[in-house]
Structure 1
Amino acid sequence: MDFDISPAWISIKTVFVATTITFFVGIIAAYWMANYNGKLKSTVDTIFTLPLVLPPTVVGFFLLLIFGRNGPIGKLLLKFGTTLIFSWPATVVAAAIVAFPLMYRTTKGAFEQIDHNIVNAARTLGVSEWKVFWRVILPLARPGIGAATVLSFARCLGEFGATLMVAGNIPGKTQTIPIAIYFTAENGEMRNALIWVILIVIISTIMIFLMNYWNEYQQKNIYGVGRK
């Protein structure tokens, strides 16, 4: 039986685009929430974290309500003659939203652990807020941001439920590796399913190894562990 390699290419595109979006949006949201002390802080934090605890199919259902033909954004897209549902961009949206809480919470924790005395010292020297963020805060939070990025990448790679709800299973268009595993196994094509399982396990193992290596490298640079 022929082996279709397209799910790998679709997953690669989806994961890199979704991780890039999650990376920047997650950092912005985490930095804002780490410094926000308003009355709605708990509410906003709950909303940002909710996709992490909800079943992916529930997230997918909400995305259908928002981006479907009768949804607010879906109606807007129809005016421009396009739709998001059952298209490749839908796989990106689903993966990014499901992975966002991991990027957000891990990065927010990294920001909150920064010694504010260092940040305040930079401010007393007349450094602008923009430079304080880029030259002081980001470097100090870099290990946490790196770990958050790897976790988000892995979550995007393994996303199944929400993707199936909003993007469907269209071979060569929206069929990612997790979806390919499910349907090939359901069709009794166990050999092909096993190939995809082995591939995704290898990729996930490599990502975990890189995350551990990154953390060890950052700890050596920050704390001078192992230096002579």
Structure 2
Amino acid sequence: MQNLLSPMEWQAVLLSIKVAFWATLTMTPLALLTAYALVRWEFPGKSILNGLAHLPLILPPVVTGYMLLLLFGTQGLVGGWLQDIGIVLAFRWTGAALAAGVMAFPLMVRALRLSLEAIDIRLEQAAATLGASPVWIFVTVTLPLMIPGVLTGTILAFAKALGEFGATITFAANIPGQTQTIPSAIYALLQVPGQEAVAARLVVISVCLALTALFLSEALARRARKRLEGI
């Protein structure tokens, strides 16, 4: 396969996987906390949190990318402070990971919420009556029962991050070898006459990666459900 792809194409593929991996890894704990808060807690502003968590799902990706640029750019409210301590996100691969993670976040939260809502709360209450702390209940009772939803959410988020374009190109630009992921590489190739075949190869790779993630998500979730049913 190495002979079929040019160095530029390999860079785009490997960078896309790297960006999607770190986007999913960093967003999973926050998505877990958000889903748990929305399902199990009652607090002022809960509807606002729910709206913010799902906002990237309904906003145009370019708008989300522009908002990230305003917030995390070198002149932004958070970005300026991060720059003072040596962390720059805009126009770096880390910025691409942030943008992809933000766009994938609502899908992950949704999957985790559905999984959490399906858990019988009486199981958690029974553990509480035995003296278990809330953290211990979550680790030993809630989280294991959420495993199918966690697997589904993280893999779907990974697939979404692989294909993210609008927010990524707005916040991290399209720099070959640095921030050029598969979607942005396809976009750049389609602007050059005679590069349609190269773009088509990347399209096929993108489809294969996405389908593999979806099939893996279904298989792992199914296996986890069977193990839970057998307990």
Distance change (3 Å), C-alpha of 1:220 and 1:81: closer
Structure 1 residues 8-62: Cα deviation after superposition (integer angstroms, max 9, x where no partner): 1211211111110111111122112222212311111101110111111010010
- Asked if 1 retains the 8 angstrom alpha-carbon contact of 2:62 and 2:170, the reply is yes
The structure 1 residue matched to 2:170, chosen from 138, 151, 165, is: 165
Q: Aligned residues: percent identity?
A: 38
Q: CA deviation at 1:113?
A: 1.8
Q: TM-score, normalised by structure 1?
A: 0.92
Q: CA deviation at 1:106?
A: 1.4
- Counterparts of residues 56-205 of structure 1 (less than 5 Å): 56-80=61-85, 83-188=88-193, 189-205=195-211
Structure 1 residues 134-161: Cα deviation after superposition (integer angstroms, max 9, x where no partner): 1110111111111111110011101000
| Alignment match, 1:208 | 214
Q: CA deviation at 1:89?
A: 1.1
Task: Give 5+ residue unaligned stretches, structure 1.
Answer: none
Task: Give 5+ residue unaligned stretches, structure 2.
Answer: none
Q: CA deviation at 1:109?
A: 2.0
Distance change (3 Å), C-alpha of 1:212 and 1:79: closer
| Alignment match, 2:48 | 43
Distance change (3 Å), C-alpha of 1:116 and 1:81: closer
| Alignment match, 2:24 | 19
Q: Tell me the distance in 2 between the aligned counterparts of 1:33 and 1:153.
A: 22
Q: Tell me the distance in 2 between the aligned counterparts of 1:34 and 1:124.
A: 21
The structure 1 residue matched to 2:225, chosen from 215, 219, 223, is: 219
Q: Tell me the distance in 2 between the aligned counterparts of 1:77 and 1:145.
A: 31
- RMSD over aligned CA atoms reads 1.9
Q: TM-score, normalised by structure 2?
A: 0.91
